[in-house]
C-alpha cells in the first residue's frame, strides 16, 4: 500500500507514529475494510483497538450506516443476550415492552464487540449463529429474524488459551479469526513514544490555554524505557498530569523522579550521562542495559565465590596474608572487609568472625599455601589464566543465553534483556547468532 495512503489515514484518524508494526496493522485494516470479512483485533489494553474498528468501518461500504461499540465485559451476564439480540415484553422481570437489540438496530452497519472473551457461553452460541447465517431470536420470542451486520471483535487476552481451558468456543474462535490484526503496544513501538507525548502535550496546552511542556533528552529516555502497561491511555494521562501540575515547561528526569516515581520502576537503573559526552546519553542505551544485567549477575557470582573460598581456606588449614594485604583487592561495594580486624565480619556468615579475627592477628605469611607435611586430596598445582573479557563477548553471551532460555522466541528474550525487539534483531544480525 502506498505510503501516502497510510499517511492520509493517520492524519484523518489522528494516529501518530512511524513504527513498522503500526504501519503493518494499519495496512491490514485498510485492505480488509472494503470486504465484509469478520475481523479480530488483538492487543494490550489501551493500544487503541477501537480506533482500528472505526477505521475499518469508515473505509468500508457500510460507512454511511450505523456503527456501535459494545463493551461485552461491562454488560451483566443476565442481560447481555437482551442487549445484543433484543427481548419481548414479559420475557423476564422488568421487560415491560418489546425492545430491539444491537444486531437489529445496527442492521446494515458495523458492530464492534470489545472484550469478546468475556461473553458467556450461551451468548457465544447465539453470536456464532449470527456470524454463520445472519439469524437471531429475541429473548422470549420464537420468531427467527435476519440481520446484515459486520462484526469486529477485540480482546486483550489470549483467546486460544481460553479455548484450551474451555472458556471460549473453539468454533467461534476460528469464525472470529478470519482476519486477525495485532495492534502493537508502546513497548513494541518505543520510537513513537516521544512523538505521542508531544502531540498530547500540545493538545492539553490548547485545552488549558497554557504553554506546551517539553521533555529534555534524559526525560525522553525515561519515558522510552518505561514499560507502559496502560499503553497510549497511560501515556496520555501522564502528559495531562505533567501539563497541569508542572510549574516549569521543560520537564527533566529529576522533575519526573519527584512527580512520577512510578516511571522509574524498572529492573535496571536509569544510566547517568556518559563522561565526556557533553551531557548527552549514549545512543546505545539498550546495549548498555544488557551489560548492566550481566555485571550484576557476575557480582553475585563473585560474592558466592568469595564465600566458598573462605570455607576452603578454613577447612583445609590454609594460610593467607594479613587482612590489610587482602583489603586492597576487595571492591568497595563488598561488606566483607571494612578495615581493621574488629570490622572483619559479615552478617551473612557470623560464625566466621573468630576465624577472620585469627587471620588478622596472625603473623604475616606467604601467599596462600598448604601446610607443609599435610597432603590435601583433590588439590593440584596449576595456574589461573586471567583472560580479559570484551564487552561485546559479554553482550553476545547474554543474548545467546536469553535466546536459548526462550527457545528462540525473540519477544520474550527481548523482555528478559530489557531491550526492544528491534534492537535484539539488530544484535542477532550483528553477532551472526
Instruction: Write down the domain spans for the chain.
Output: 3-184, 188-266
Does residue 169 come out as left (phi exceeding 0), alpha (psi in the -120 to 50 range) or beta?
A: beta
The class (CATH top level) of 188-266 is mainly alpha
Residue 431 has what pLDDT?
Answer: 79
Residue 361 has what pLDDT?
Answer: 53
Q: What is the pLDDT of residues 297-311, one digit of tens each?
A: 676 677 777 777 777
Given a cut of 50, is residue 283 above it in pLDDT?
no
- In this predicted model, which residue has the larger pLDDT, 376 or 198? 198
Note the pTM of the prediction, 2 decimals.
0.62
Distances (CA, A) of 405 to 159, 398, 419, 429: 25, 11, 16, 19
Architecture per CATH, 3-184: 3-Layer(aba) Sandwich (3.40)
The alpha carbon of 115 is separated from its chain's Cα centroid by a whole number of angstroms, namely: 20
Rg of the chain taking only CA atoms, in angstroms: 32
In the structure, what pLDDT confidence band is assigned to residue 41 with cuts at 50, 70 and 90?
A: very high
DSSP state of 190: G
The alpha carbon of 241 is separated from its chain's Cα centroid by a whole number of angstroms, namely: 22
Asked if 54 and 192 touch (Cβ cutoff 8 Å), the reply is no
Residue 349 has what pLDDT?
Answer: 47
Residue 287 and residue 422: Cα distance in Å, rounded?
A: 12
- In this predicted model, which residue has the larger pLDDT, 20 or 352? 20
Q: What is the pLDDT of residues 67-83, one digit of tens each?
A: 999 999 999 998 999 99
In the structure, what pLDDT confidence band is assigned to residue 320 with cuts at 50, 70 and 90?
A: low
**Mean of the pLDDT values across residues 101-125?**
97
Q: What is the pLDDT of residues 376-416, one digit of tens each?
A: 444 444 444 444 456 677 888 888 888 888 888 888 888 88
The three grid cell numbers given for residue 140, joined into one nine-digit string: 422470549
The average confidence (pLDDT) of the chain is: 81
Residue 143 has what pLDDT?
Answer: 94
**Mean of the pLDDT values across residues 108-134?**
97
For residue 192, what are the contacts with CB-CB under 8 A and spacing of at least 6?
Answer: 16, 17, 18, 19, 22, 186
Distances (CA, A) of 93 to 78, 87, 88: 11, 11, 11
Given a cut of 90, is residue 332 above it in pLDDT?
no
- In this predicted model, which residue has the larger pLDDT, 312 or 40? 40
Amino acid at each position: 500500500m502506498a505510503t501516502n495512503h497510510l499517511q492520509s489515514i493517520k492524519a484523518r484518524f489522528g494516529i501518530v507514529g512511524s513504527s513498522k508494526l503500526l504501519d503493518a496493522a494499519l495496512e491490514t485494516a485498510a485492505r480488509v475494510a472494503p470486504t465484509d470479512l469478520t475481523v479480530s483485533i488483538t492487543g494490550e489494553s489501551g493500544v487503541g483497538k477501537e480506533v482500528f474498528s472505526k477505521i475499518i468501518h469508515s473505509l468500508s461500504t457500510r460507512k454511511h450506516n450505523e456503527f456501535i461499540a459494545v463493551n461485552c465485559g461491562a454488560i451483566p451476564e443476565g442481560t447481555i443476550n437482551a442487549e445484543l439480540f433484543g427481548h419481548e415484553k414479559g420475557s423476564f422481570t422488568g421487560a415491560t415492552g418489546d425492545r430491539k437489540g444491537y444486531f437489529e438496530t445496527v442492521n446494515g452497519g458495523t458492530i464492534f464487540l470489545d472484550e469478546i472473551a468475556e461473553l458467556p457461553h450461551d451468548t457465544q452460541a447465539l453470536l456464532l449463529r449470527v456470524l454463520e447465517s445472519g439469524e437471531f431470536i429475541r429473548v422470549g420470542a420464537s420468531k427467527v429474524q435476519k440481520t446484515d451486520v459486520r462484526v469486529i471483535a477485540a480482546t486483550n487476552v489470549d483467546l486460544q488459551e481460553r479455548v484450551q481451558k474451555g472458556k471460549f468456543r473453539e468454533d467461534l474462535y476460528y469464525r472470529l479469526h478470519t482476519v486477525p490484526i495485532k495492534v502493537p503496544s508502546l513497548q513494541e513501538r518505543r520510537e513513537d513514544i516521544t512523538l505521542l507525548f508531544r502531540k498530547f502535550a500540545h493538545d492539553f496546552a490548547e485545552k488549558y490555554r497554557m504553554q506546551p511542556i517539553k521533555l529534555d533528552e534524559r526525560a525522553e529516555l525515561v519515558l522510552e524505557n518505561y514499560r507502559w502497561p496502560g499503553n497510549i491511555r497511560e501515556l496520555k494521562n501522564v502528559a495531562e498530569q505533567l501539563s497541569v501540575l508542572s510549574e516549569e515547561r521543560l520537564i527533566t528526569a529529576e522533575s519526573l523522579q519527584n512527580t512520577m516515581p512510578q516511571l522509574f520502576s524498572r529492573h535496571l537503573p536509569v544510566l547517568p550521562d556518559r563522561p565526556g559526552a557533553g551531557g548527552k546519553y549514549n545512543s546505545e542505551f539498550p546495549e548498555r542495559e544488557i551489560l548492566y544485567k550481566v555485571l550484576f549477575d557476575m557480582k553475585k557470582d563473585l560474592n558466592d565465590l568469595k564465600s566458598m573460598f573462605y570455607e576452603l581456606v578454613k577447612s583445609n588449614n590454609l594460610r593467607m596474608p594479613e587482612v590489610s594485604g587482602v583489603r586492597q583487592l576487595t571492591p568497595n561495594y563488598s561488606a566483607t572487609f571494612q578495615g581493621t580486624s574488629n570490622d572483619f565480619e559479615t552478617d551473612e556468615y557470623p560464625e566466621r568472625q573468630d576465624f577472620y579475627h585469627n587471620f588478622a592477628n596472625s603473623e604475616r605469611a606467604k601467599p596462600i599455601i598448604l601446610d607443609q607435611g599435610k597432603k590435601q586430596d583433590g588439590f593440584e598445582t596449576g595456574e589461573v589464566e586471567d583472560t580479559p573479557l570484551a564487552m561485546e563477548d559479554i553482550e553476545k553471551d547474554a543474548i545467546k543465553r536469553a535466546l536459548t532460555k526462550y527457545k528462540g522466541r525473540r519477544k520474550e528474550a527481548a523482555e528478559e534483556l530489557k531491550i526492544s525487539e528491534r534492537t535484539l534483531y539488530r544484535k542477532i544480525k550483528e553477532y551472526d547468532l
